[in-house]
């Protein structure tokens, strides 16, 4: 089974806007020192990290939280799409290689951000992925042959909510989490 994507320029523009809103939201926490988009920094590209969020930790220290941001345009309320391979040059979209502590998956169909702890998600996904059907994402550009953009698995959101302790869901229009993820 395959999903056909639309023209990438609109998707890229929407992805940048969502990332900008997320970063603005992270800056709103009282203990935030700074939030940086590091997607184009070579070291962070190797680590597959998009955002670094620096926070103050009581009593007098600070912590940098690495975040991988993924723009999911085919998931929905019932399931997230987790890629296992992508043509996208952004390595942060690959759960298997990211050095991020959190994977923020924005699901375009629902305008929700799923905040997933990588330390829990990666082993859970490795164990469960063989039981989830593979899915291809194909991009069709005008007057060009279709090309495979991603291969991955659909993961039921209710199952993630049941089996991962720290999963949070933030509606993009409100971006007011019930608790801080750090």
Note whether residue 182 is domain-resident.
Answer: no
Note whether residue 176 is domain-resident.
Answer: no
Spatial CA neighbour of 77 closest among 100, 53, 111, 48: 111
Range of the domain at 106: 2-171
Note whether residue 97 is domain-resident.
Answer: yes
Note whether residue 181 is domain-resident.
Answer: no
CATH label of the domain that carries residue 147: 3.40.1350
Note whether residue 179 is domain-resident.
Answer: no
Count of domains for the chain: 1
Cβ–Cβ under 8 Å, residues 43 and 17: no
Instruction: Render each residue's pLDDT in the chain as its tens digit; 182 residues.
Output: 555 555 555 677 888 888 999 999 999 999 999 999 998 899 988 888 999 999 998 888 999 999 999 888 888 888 888 888 776 666 556 677 778 899 999 998 888 999 999 999 999 998 988 888 888 877 666 666 666 677 888 899 999 989 998 888 888 876 644 444 44
């Amino acid at each position: 089974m395959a999903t056909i994507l639309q023209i990438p320029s609109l998707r890229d523009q929407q992805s940048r806007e969502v990332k900008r809103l997320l970063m603005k939201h992270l800056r709103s926490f009282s203990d935030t020192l700074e939030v940086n988009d590091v997607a184009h920094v070579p070291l962070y590209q190797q680590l597959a990290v998009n955002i670094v969020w620096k926070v103050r930790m009581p009593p007098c220290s600070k912590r940098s939280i690495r975040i991988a941001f993924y723009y999911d345009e085919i998931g929905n309320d019932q399931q997230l799409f987790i890629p296992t391979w992508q043509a996208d040059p952004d390595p942060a979209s690959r759960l298997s290689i990211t050095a991020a502590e959190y994977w923020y998956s924005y699901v375009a169909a629902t305008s929700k951000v799923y905040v997933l702890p990588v330390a829990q998600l990666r082993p859970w996904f490795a164990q469960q992925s063989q039981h989830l059907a593979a899915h291809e994402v194909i991009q069709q550009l005008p007057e060009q042959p279709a090309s495979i953009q991603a291969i991955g698995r659909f993961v039921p959101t209710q199952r993630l909510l049941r089996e991962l302790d720290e999963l949070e869901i933030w509606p993009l229009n409100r971006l007011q989490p019930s608790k801080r993820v750090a």
